[in-house]
Amino acid sequence: MNTVKEKVKDMLADQIPSRRSEIPFIQKMRMSFLFVCYVSVAIFFCWKAYKLAQDERTLTYGQDDSIGIPPPTAYFTAFYNFAVDCIQFYDDGTNITCNQYISSTQFDQDASMYYASFNGSDLEFLDPNDDKNVDKNFLDELDMTISITDKTFVANTDAFMFATFLDQETQVDLAKAEAKRPRFKGLSDYESTAYSGNSYYFGKNQSYDFLYERKIFNRLKQNGVNKLSGNGDHRKITLIDSVLVPYPPDDTNYVTLRIRPKSYIVVTETENSDSSVIDFLSAVGGIYATAMGVYAFLYGADAMGPWGFVQNLPCIRRKVKAALRDSLRPNIPFSDSVLSKDLSIDEKFVAMEQRQLALELFLKEYVVSVDNVEEDENAVRAF
């Protein structure tokens, strides 16, 4: 049974057969270098395959100056019945009611809680520093006052109110996700983040500033195109990043809330894949081509120029010539003198036969690969 070393040697010999006219130590150097190349390519292949399986991704960030951003959708819940009043304040000092955007308070029998919502879908906070908004009367802030209207509420009771704020596009995405979600299945990571990321609870007789900014997350879709190319279709996810700032309380109302943007700059986060099938194939093919190019430079691979840099080194070239001379003599193809006219017919026939054999040997080792033909002939003979 052949050892591993012999199997590797046979494999390399099949790939690039040895030449009888080659110096033994050059042959060993050539085979060793080729073995190192194959091992290096195999290791690189495994490493790139591992990176591809890991599916690592890179996040790139950008900023867009927005002319205006819409107010968030707000959901209020409490254990007592309550009412919400809304007022719009504009840059010129005017103010108008926005109660038309407030839903009437309803009671949820299952949760035993009252709820109401604000949805100003056609409102927009315009950036006062944008040149396009110079001549416009822009919305400055939204003020909401929440008061308890429940007759069973007892004064001095510490009753908390819960509020959740969602970007308007997020609300649409959540509605689609809820419609697709199978029954009894829990919330996805995206849904949980959207609901809990901007949820607060208010204490009695408190006043707050709700400051927010929009963020857009472009996430790669899990499909074959993205796996193949790495950067294809993205799913746009819009969220808001908010902070609740308390300020001196208002004793006349249960909760006073002012809503306004923290910034008009929209932060964009785009997800890109670090590796793809195309990148994997390109990298492996590139490293293999590089290795074979170095091999051809050092030892030669061209059929019409089979000697590389190593064989042409001054200290080795003489030995290469000697090995060629020893293996191809007495007739060296393309370098023998013309047959003498003084030779007899038999002598000329023998000389021509020797030159033919020498030429066949030379062509077989340096120009034409006949290994496949010989294997077929051996198979036919064995059959």
SS3 call for 212:
strand
Q: Which two tokens stand for residue 92?
A: 């010129």
The residue ranges of every structural domain in the chain are: 4-52+279-382, 62-273
pLDDT of residue 120: 86
Give the helix, strand, coil percentages of the chain, each rounded to 5: 40, 30, 35
pLDDT of residue 383: 40
Give the span between the Cα atoms of 117 and 71, in whole angstroms.
13
Give the span between the Cα atoms of 43 and 142, in whole angstroms.
62
Q: Which two tokens stand for residue 281?
A: 């194939």
Q: Cα-flanking dihedrals φ and ψ of residue 180, to 5°? A: -85, -20
Strands 161-166 and 234-247 turn out to be unpaired
pLDDT of residue 49: 86
pLDDT of residue 186: 56
Ranges of the chain with pLDDT below 50? 1, 184, 380, 382-383
Length of the chain: 383
**Structure confidence by residue, pLDDT tens digits, 293-309:** 888 888 776 555 667 77
Overall fold of domain 62-273: Acid-sensing ion channels like fold (2.60.470)
